[in-house]
Amino acid sequence: MHALAQPESESAWLSPWRRLRRDRIGMISLGVVLAYFAMILAATLDLVSRDWSREVGVPYASPSFLGRQPNPEASPAEGVPRPGGAPPDLSAVDPLAPKYAEWARRTAELKSGEAERAASLPWGGDRWGRDVLDKAIKGSQVSIAVGVAAALCATLIGTLLGAMAGFHGGRADDLLEWVYNVFTSIPGILLVFALAAVLRSGWLGKVFAEGIWMVVIILAVTGWTGMYRLVRAEYLKHRAREYVRAAEAIGASAASRMFAHILPNVSHVILIQLSLLVVAFIKVEVILSFLGLGVPVDMVSWGTMLAEAQTELVIGKWWQLTAATAFMAVFLTAFSMLTDSLRDALDPRLR
């Protein structure tokens, strides 16, 4: 950090960092979260889990550490026995008869080999024999990306509106308070459902048919209100402070006072709320994807894994459930505890 060059004036972010460094739980959580982000980065760059959708094992391959287990679902179903004897010669009446020779030749040119399928995978396989561990890593990438992107969008909306309402007051504040009241008077999940219905069947659904943007929009539009409330309160408090009035006296514009002067002074509040939003949004994304309203079907997230796991559990295949749960629980626990430590480090008075 640049403050290192000037030891006499400690940067606003250096002392919280020092406090965080002393917090053992906080540092462990930070390590876990960073490990997850490294894993996501690797997954995004296709270094790991690139082939998560390839069917590498037999259906419901059991985890390697269990050793060989009876796996009746893997063996192909006993079909109808084929009738014996040579087929009757129909070439005289069959209009396609002249083409058979050519088709046989072209079939010979193509190679179709039965891919080698493993009987067991490190943490088992799903219904199509895809590696559960790969899916969990890819699912982490998608779920966390949705949570972080949605939290950033909600923060942007909430901060902008909150800053305007709190800083300007008067008419702008009344109007935005009305909007806030409208959004919070609708039970959250209903707003999510209404948005999901509208976006899925409307024209935006065609624009954002692929990728995670649909969920991100739904979460951001429904989740900005808490941030708005906090930022508005902070701006109300700060706008009359001396440093802001001093900035006004030397001719700083309203926008400059809002974003160059006040914003850095309330950024710790925003950062803490942002990390709380990440946790909340990941939980909602998992539920939405579980219900089929989240990420598209060609993607995997913790929620879609849990959706598959529900039916798998009934036939005793618990590996997908445990993998998704463990990946999610470890991340969310670490992230929540990091948020707690961040709050202590950034705002020691709040303890």
Q: Whole-number minimum distance, CB 67 to other proteins, in Å?
A: 24
End-to-end Cα distance, the chain = 27
| Region binding other proteins by CB under 8 A among candidate stretches 147-155, 226-234, 249-257, 328-336 | 328-336
Helices (H), the chain: 14-22, 24-44, 100-109, 132-168, 170-185, 188-201, 203-207, 213-223, 225-238, 242-249, 254-256, 263-290, 302-314, 319-346
Q: Which tokens hold the place of 310?
A: 């529900």
Q: Whole-number minimum distance, CB 147 to other proteins, in Å?
A: 13
Nearer to other proteins, 12 or 194 (CB): 194
DSSP letter assigned to residue 55? B
71 scored as a contact of other proteins (CB under 8 A): no
Distance (Å, whole) CA 63 – CA 45 = 27
Q: What are phi and psi of 58, to 5 degrees?
A: -70, 160
Q: Whole-number minimum distance, CB 288 to other proteins, in Å?
A: 10
36 scored as a contact of other proteins (CB under 8 A): no
Q: Which of 118, 119, 271, 321 binds other proteins (CB under 8 A)?
A: 321
- Compose the 193-232 pattern: x for residues touching other proteins by CB under 8 A, - for all others: xxxxxxxxxxxxx---------------------------
Contacts of 140 (CB under 8 A, 6+ apart): 36, 39, 40, 43, 302, 327, 328, 331
Q: Whole-number minimum distance, CB 27 to other proteins, in Å?
A: 17
283 scored as a contact of other proteins (CB under 8 A): yes
Q: Which of 35, 291, 347, 348 binds other proteins (CB under 8 A)?
A: 291
225-238 and 263-290 helices cross at what angle (nearest 10)?
170
Q: Whole-number minimum distance, CB 187 to other proteins, in Å?
A: 4
CA-to-CA dists, residue 30 to 116, 125, 215, angstroms: 41, 31, 27
Q: Which tokens hold the place of 103?
A: 């088709």
297 scored as a contact of other proteins (CB under 8 A): no
86 scored as a contact of other proteins (CB under 8 A): no
314 scored as a contact of other proteins (CB under 8 A): yes
Distance (Å, whole) CA 163 – CA 221 = 17
Q: Whole-number minimum distance, CB 329 to other proteins, in Å?
A: 5
342 scored as a contact of other proteins (CB under 8 A): no
- b/e code 49-84 from CB counts within 10 Å (16+ = b): beebbebbbbbbbbbeeeeeeebeebeeeeeeeeee
313 scored as a contact of other proteins (CB under 8 A): yes
Residue with tokens 């995997």: 300
Nearer to other proteins, 19 or 283 (CB): 283
- Compose the 166-195 pattern: x for residues touching other proteins by CB under 8 A, - for all others: ------------xx-xxx-xxx-xxx-xxx
290 scored as a contact of other proteins (CB under 8 A): yes
Q: Which of 332, 338, 342, 345 binds other proteins (CB under 8 A)?
A: 332
Nearer to other proteins, 233 or 321 (CB): 321
336 scored as a contact of other proteins (CB under 8 A): yes
**Bridge partner residues of 130 (DSSP):** 55
270 scored as a contact of other proteins (CB under 8 A): no
Distance (Å, whole) CA 241 – CA 137 = 48
- Total of chain residues touching other proteins, rule CB under 8 A: 48
Residues that bind other proteins (CB under 8 A): 178-179, 181-183, 185-187, 189-191, 193-205, 283, 286-287, 290-293, 302-303, 306, 309-310, 313-314, 321, 325, 328-333, 336-337
